[in-house]
Structure 1
Amino acid sequence: MNNLHISLTEMRNESRVLKQASSIYNSSSFESVFISSLWGEGLEMSENLNGVELRRFDLKTRNYGNNLIIQILKYLEFTYTVYRNYRKNNIDIITIHALALLPLGCLLKVLYSSKLVYDAHELETEKNGLGGLRKKLAKWLESILIPFVDHTIVVSNSIADWYKSRYSIENVSVVFNSPIIKDIKKNNLLKSKLGIDSHIKLYIYQGVLSKGRGIDEILDVFGKETADVAVAFMGYGMESEKIKEAASASDKIFYVPAVAPAEVLSYTASADVGISFIEPVCLSYDYCMPNKVFEYLAVGLPVIVSNGKEMSNFVEEHGVGWHASNFSSDELAKLVQHSCKQDTSIYEKRSKEISEKYKWQHQEKLLLEVYKNVTE
């Protein structure tokens, strides 16, 4: 059997797609596993990722602009390009990694006579920034096409419940976006790199640097904090310039560019507390269970999380840190002030125990069970 994953990204740091494709390939249930995506400057057109064949497509319409008509043309070109390049590969299962790919996935399901798996990386129709006509179209599109999906994979229990209730379907499975656990020891990498004294308690934010993820609140808190604490932001996104400016004006705020996925956990292990302060402005954020929380736990860090339903319930249930009662700078400041007085090293064993329970090595078993059931 052969499995094709389709992504509308450039596959620069798409760890979830890569983990899934690698787990499926290594299961030996599939002869070939392919990933198709978009090409970007400085990237290889094709790569062999330990057996998984990645191809990036440079669309002719790429430089024509971004208005609605051009976007439609880009989508049609990508659709035809993917179809043409894999039509002779006997694709048995197609896995799409975004709601926008549902039309393409359904079309290829018919053309290839294959099964279709929809991996929703978030609650697609309820995500931040989606509103008005676009939201109505997204809801309409998903409701019309999801009956043609053989199985839907989601990233949290609340999202699974939402899909089952909304569409009256049962073929939904939760596969947490947790890391592949490696034996990574505590280290001094970040403090050494940034020139931070060893006695300073270092908080870390890793991930996309965008609005709605608590960036302003974190900057506000650490810009005023007088205790021996500091925060390091690691990642990429539209808020990076704001963070760089704040870092230049404060000795408690630091910015570190995103690193390769294989290096991330080594940096994480050099901090003392992980922060995931996502504002629950939409259901997708309220129900999210970010991979960064699992990464913090994997290296033994306690976490500070916002008042989103999934994250706060998880932290309270497992005793791996502190969660906010409301989303505000004042509430975050209280959590920072409380945690900075704690011996956070006592959380190391507990965090790693919980991480062991949810690690990717367990999640991939759930993933492979989905593929097994789809093919039966």
Structure 2
Amino acid sequence: MRNRQQRCRVAVLAFADARKDARTLNVCRTLATECELALWNTTPGQCTEWQWFAVEVPPHGRMLIRWLRFVVMLCWRAQRWRADVLWAGDVYCLLPAVVLRWRWNARVVYDAREIYSSLGSLAERRVAQTLLAWYERLLVRWVDRVVTSGQRDAEELARLLPLRAVPEVVLNVPFYAEPTRTNRLRERCCIEHDALVVLYQGAVQRGRGLLRAVEAIALLKTAHLCILGDGDFAGAVEHHARACGVAAQVHLLGSVPYDELLDWTASADVGWCWIEPISHSYELALPNKLFEYAMARVPVLASDLPAIRSVLEEFPFGVCYAPTADAAELAAAITHLHTHAEVYRYHAERAAREYCYERQQPRIRRLVLELCQNR
């Protein structure tokens, strides 16, 4: 058992640019107050609260090659740091976490932020999906604790994986903030002051309802769709916008650092949180964008999926429509949300006080410190 006078050493592993990864940053900020922490991610950065290490990989190219390079370089470069607890930030960090566990005699926390055995991005790549599910099931045997982003995901993971304990739910929510309405999106995209701005933020992938969003915008002459995020579906969105005659009303802006996101979000009129149930992971989705819109006091148009619906029934800061809803229905919903924005913002403020990261921090600290003390 570890001496209680020593600070627990934690290594957070992220196969991502942590500057733009809300969940990784929030975990680091939570643990840095109690532990000596090092973050290993794919992008250089600076931080006074913890050590920031970059294992740089090419931004483009085959995913498998980029991942293998990350794993090999991380295991080689991190071996001298020595941690008591490793936080594997997603399924792709499981292998290096298990390798370093053996080397350091450390504990491992696996952040299963999705149902990786049923990903939307792999819905049409059955072989890749099967291999990823096998990889996860094999390596999770050396994991001490699992965390996930929703109760439904926790129940599904307990059913699917050979776990040592029931997964801990850590909601993917932002820290509480009092936002100020801005014009950042209008200024960046040269949008008229009286135009309606619909915002989607997140990965630009199939299954996020982005083509349907373009079709809805085509029915609203003064509306614009702004997309904050990157992904391989961007070309399809641009092509569809041209086909619908609204290329000038659809703006793909790329991703922004997470610490700037609230200002961008607070300049929108309506938030788009449309998840198509193309995989089991998407069916159970409780995306962080839902809570980020609430924190920015932006009314939400969401798909009627169980986890999302339960939040909006408790705090009605938006409306749910069936995933089969057509563009005309969604255009009408956007207009309704904008017309009654003050009512929805009132409920968004209530939701923001309940669904904030300050309420998640105690369980993260307790979980990691218990593993460290019982090492």
TM-score class normalised by the smaller sequence:
0.7 to 0.9
TM-score, structure 1 normalization:
0.86
Distance 2:299 2:144 in 1: 38
CA deviations 1:74-110 (Å, max 9, x no partner) are: 62x5444333333333310011122233232222212
Is 1:14–2:14 an aligned residue pair?
no
Is 1:304–2:308 an aligned residue pair?
no
Please list, as runs of the form range in 1=range in 2, the aligned pairs for 1:159-178 lying within 5 A after superposition. 159-167=153-161, 169=163, 170-178=165-173
Change (3 A) 1:160 1:67: closer
Please list, as runs of the form range in 1=range in 2, the aligned pairs for 1:361-372 lying within 5 A after superposition. 361-372=358-369
Distance 1:38 1:193 in 2: 28
TM-score, structure 2 normalization:
0.86
**Counterpart residue identity of residue 186, structure 1:** R
Per the alignment, residue 80 of structure 2 pairs with: 88
Change (3 A) 1:222 1:108: same
CA deviations 1:203-262 (Å, max 9, x no partner) are: 211122221111100001111224x53332222223334555638845543343433222
CA deviations 1:19-63 (Å, max 9, x no partner) are: 21121012x2x1x21122335xxxx3xx4312221211246xx69
User: Does the Cα contact within 8 Å between 1:10 and 1:56 map onto a contact in 2?
Assistant: no
Give the deviation of 1:172 after TM superposition: 0.8
Distance 2:283 2:39 in 1: 30
Distance 2:268 2:63 in 1: 43
Change (3 A) 1:229 1:66: closer
Per the alignment, residue 95 of structure 2 pairs with: 103
Give the deviation of 1:308 after TM superposition: 2.4
Point out which structure has higher relative CO (alpha carbons under 8 A, 6+ apart).
Answer: 2
Per the alignment, residue 270 of structure 2 pairs with: 273
SS at match of 1:338: helix
Higher mean C-alpha displacement, 180-189 vs 297-306: 180-189
Question: How many residue pairs get matched?
Answer: 359
Distance 1:183 1:337 in 2: 25
Distance 2:181 2:353 in 1: 17
SS at match of 2:202: strand
Structure 2 residues not aligned, in runs of 5+: 1-7
Is 1:35–2:39 an aligned residue pair?
yes
Per the alignment, residue 175 of structure 2 pairs with: 180
Structure 1 residues not aligned, in runs of 5+: none
Per the alignment, residue 23 of structure 1 pairs with: 30
Change (3 A) 1:109 1:316: same
Please list, as runs of the form range in 1=range in 2, the aligned pairs for 1:1-376 lying within 5 A after superposition. 1-26=8-33, 28=34, 30=35, 32-38=36-42, 44=44, 47-58=45-56, 66=62, 75=68, 78-130=70-122, 131-167=125-161, 169=163, 170-226=165-221, 228-244=222-238, 246=241, 249-250=246-247, 252-330=249-327, 331-340=329-338, 342-375=339-372, 376=374
Distance 1:305 1:102 in 2: 32
Change (3 A) 1:214 1:296: same
SS at match of 1:153: strand
Change (3 A) 1:109 1:220: same
Change (3 A) 1:79 1:240: closer
Change (3 A) 1:236 1:66: closer
